[in-house]
Structure 1
Amino acid sequence: MDKILVIADPLTQLQNAFIKALSLAHSSCASIHVAAVCYESFAELNDSDFDSGSIKEKIIQQHKEFWQKQINQYDSNLTIDVEVVWHKQLHDWVIKECSANKYDLIVKTGHRSETSFYTPTDWMLFRDSPIPVYVVEPQKHKCEKVVLVALDALAKSTEKQVLNSQLLESAFRLAVQTDAKLHCAYVIKIPTLLKDLDLVDPKTYTNKIKVRAQANMDTLLADYDITKECVHILEGEPWGVLANLSKKLHSQCLVVGSMGRKGIMGKLVGNTAEKIIHVAHTDLLVIGPDVDSKSLL
């Protein structure tokens, strides 16, 4: 990993994303580019009483001074630069920035404000980002040196198989960089219709799928030194099971894939990554299907 893009937290909050990026940069010798994206609407101000241009410049200057003080506090061996961006749509700016410049990772603090009519920046980045997104959990929680990665042991499409490889390789590298133990999980989900109509015996169905999943996991993990105790094949709703397993293991980070559902389908179905962010009290590393393999951790 060579370069990290950090989305700065508001000036009034703890800079969780920057602190996490510093930790990752120290272990990988990466440079850090901090984007302090800010915007205020002056539509309601009376032009005769306020100079909106002057206020804007003062806000930008305030951010520059704050970040200069932050950088001065940290190790000069790291290459850290800051850009103050005046832009209303954070998601749009980030995607354009990643297209124009070479980054290996986006780091930002997580937010959970999704509603029926509003999709937060986190979710939009999960769906559109061309590079992995590391979402920092802002609340302190007990964690061990454990990285948990969610894999699709029964992936059939080439797209999902490639994503599996990307997830595993990224999780492995993150575990090595942070001196953590790598755990892998696959969640068996019994189709709702089969369960509701009592068309299958849940235990028999789960055991049958588990045999196939275990064989595929053995093949997928063949090149990695992962013990049986670190491979988990469970049944239930993927987002809930993964969140609970992450809590049980006290994982420092949960690595998941996002299939990038958009529009009505994205609203109705959502992605596992988007559901997990509501319930998992841990950092998330989200990797989409369009991520360049060269951009892995």
Structure 2
Amino acid sequence: MTLSSHDSVFTCQRILVVFDPYHTEQPAYHRACFLAKKLNAELLVVSCIYDETYDMTNFLSAEQRVDMKSALLNGQLKAMQACTAKTIGVKVSVKSVWHKSLHQGIIDVATHEDCDMIVKACKNHTKFAHKLFTPSDWRLLRYSPLNVLMVKDHDWPENGNIVASISVDTNDKVHNLLSERVTKISCDLAKMVNARVNLANTFAGAPVHVAIEVPSFNAQAYNQDIQDKHEKDVHTIAQAHDIPDDQVFVSEGLPEDIIPKVCEKLDAELLVLGSVGRRGISAALLGNTAEHIIDHVTCDTLVIKPQLK
């Protein structure tokens, strides 16, 4: 199905906000409130907690462990109620759950409570730590069936910039459809927050070894042909959505290198990109492109999944 520039695809009736029990500031909640007012949506604030010592200790009876867990969960409810008490103009409910896995606990609640999007503050991860384990942020991005907004500290000013990272490949229908949705959702958001949409696209140039092994191969001409094709395809998408030519960026290189530079150049408030979610060994060894990009941008990132509700 082809979406016209007048079809709205970004609609949310209920947004799940991940509450951070370890910090006073709740940037995810404040951003979600901002969006909820624009979308006329309600918020479900969720705290997912777990302490293995409550399950492992032999000094407590099963009943005592249940009572202590209940006390912790009730404490979280009071903390969330205090955080949301002064919110005006948005319907807010709170929920605390006990789950060993933060990402799975959040996904379970979002699915059961019929939420449309998840909003979570993005923690900073060092490159060293990122190679040793997969943080909850990444697991949430990989396994969530819903769109996920990762919030950082960048403001959303009037007349700001939204960057939509898209791919164009005639042989990849999944990514092409995803890019179409990314573009349309970016345009929907831009109308709501009075921002400009910028399309960013990257392409891989000719491998260096080919030029060495095949002297007759003209790498420069090949790269120019690839760039011309990408620019033509991306400009076609831009024209379909009334995006000016000077808001289109096509560059040779890896997305994780190029996209953050575009966001920095434009001082973007939001990056919108699609993610099909790589899992298993390939994810452990290579990681997802979306994850590498998020680590290198200072703005919020909205990750769009292939199947929307």
TM-score, reference length from structure 1: 0.88
For the residue of structure 2 that corresponds to 1:221, the secondary structure is helix
Question: Judging changes above 3 Å, is the alpha-carbon distance between structure 1 residues 60 and 94 closer, same or farther for their aligned structure 2 residues?
Answer: closer
Deviations 1:220-273 (A, max 9, x none): 233311101100111112111101110110001111111211111112222211
Quick one: structure 1 residues 256 and 134, their matched pair in 2 at CA, closer, same or farther if it must change by over 3 Å? same
Q: Of 279, 287, 292, which residue of structure 1 is paired with 2:304? A: 287
Quick one: which amino acid aligns to residue 151 of structure 2? V
Gaps of 5+ in 1: none
Give the drift of 1:112: 4.3
* Structure 2 residue 232 is the aligned partner of structure 1 residue 232: no
The within-5 A match list for 1:270-285 is 270-285=287-302
Q: Alpha carbons of 1:284 and 1:140: their partners in 2 closer, same or farther (altered >3 Å)?
A: closer
Could you tell me how far 1:193 is from its partner in structure 2? 5.5
- Higher mean Cα deviation, 176-185 or 120-129? 120-129
Residue 187 of structure 1: CA displacement? 0.8
Q: What are the residue-to-residue correspondences of 1:248-287 with 2, within 5 Å?
A: 248-287=265-304
Q: Verify: 1:10 aligned to 2:27, yes or no.
A: no
Distance 1:61 1:99, change over 3 A: closer
CA deviations on 1:29-86 (whole Å, 9 max, x unpaired) are: 111011111111225656269x5444323322221111112222110x3111000111
Partner of 2:104: 92
The answer on 1:80 being equivalent to 2:84 is no
1:131 aligns with 2:142: no
Q: Distance in 1 between matches of 2:297 and 2:246?
A: 22
Task: Kindly indicate whether the alpha-carbon contact (under 8 Å) linking 1:154 and 1:216 is maintained by their aligned counterparts in 2.
Answer: no
Task: Report the number of matched residues.
Answer: 290
What does 1:37-186 correspond to in 2, within 5 Å? 37-42=48-53, 45=57, 47=59, 51-75=64-88, 77-113=89-125, 115-137=130-152, 139-140=153-154, 145-186=160-201
Q: Tell me by how many angstroms 1:175 deviates.
A: 1.4
SS at match of 1:63: helix
Q: CA deviation at 1:151?
A: 0.7
Query: C-alpha separation between the residues in 2 aligned to 1:97 and 1:197?
Result: 55
Structure 2: how far apart are the matches of 1:279 and 1:39? 30
- Cα deviation for residue 145 of structure 1 reads 1.2
Corresponding residue to 2:42 among 19, 27, 31: 31
Within 2, Cα distance between the matches of 1:99 and 1:242? 31
Contact 2:163/2:198, CA 8 A, preserved across alignment: yes
Give CA deviations for 1:202-225 in whole Å, capped at 9, x if unaligned: 543332112111221233233311
**1:142-174 deviation line (CA, Å, top 9, x unaligned):** 977111011112342221111111111111112
SS in 1 for 2:130: coil
Q: CA deviation at 1:96?
A: 2.5
- Code of the aligned partner of 1:111: K
**Residues 103 and 197 of structure 1: is their aligned pair in 2 closer, same or farther, counting only changes over 3 Å?**
farther
Q: Find the residue that maps to 2:239 and give its secondary structure.
A: coil
Matched letter for residue 231 of structure 1? V
Q: 1:247 to 1:259 in 2, by over 3 A?
A: same
State the distance in 2 between where 1:39 and 1:73 align.
Answer: 28
Contact 1:111–1:120 (CA under 8 A) maintained in structure 2 = no
Which region of structure 1 is more displaced relative to structure 2, 274-283 or 183-192?
Answer: 183-192
Query: CA distance change for structure 1 residues 142 and 31 in 2, over 3 Å: closer, same or farther?
Result: closer
Q: Equivalents in 2 of 1:246, 1:149: separation in Å?
A: 10
By how many angstroms is 1:115 displaced? 3.3
Residues 155, 194 of structure 1: alpha-carbon distance in 2 compared, 3 angstrom cutoff: farther
Give the aligned residue type for 1:57.
S
Unaligned runs of 5+ residues in structure 2 are 1-11
> How far, CA to CA, are the matches of 1:256 and 1:192 in structure 2?
26
* Aligned residue identity for 1:234: S
Deviates more, 1:188-197 or 1:269-278: 188-197
Aligned partners of 1:257 and 1:111: how far apart in 2?
20
| TM-score, normalised relative to structure 2 | 0.85
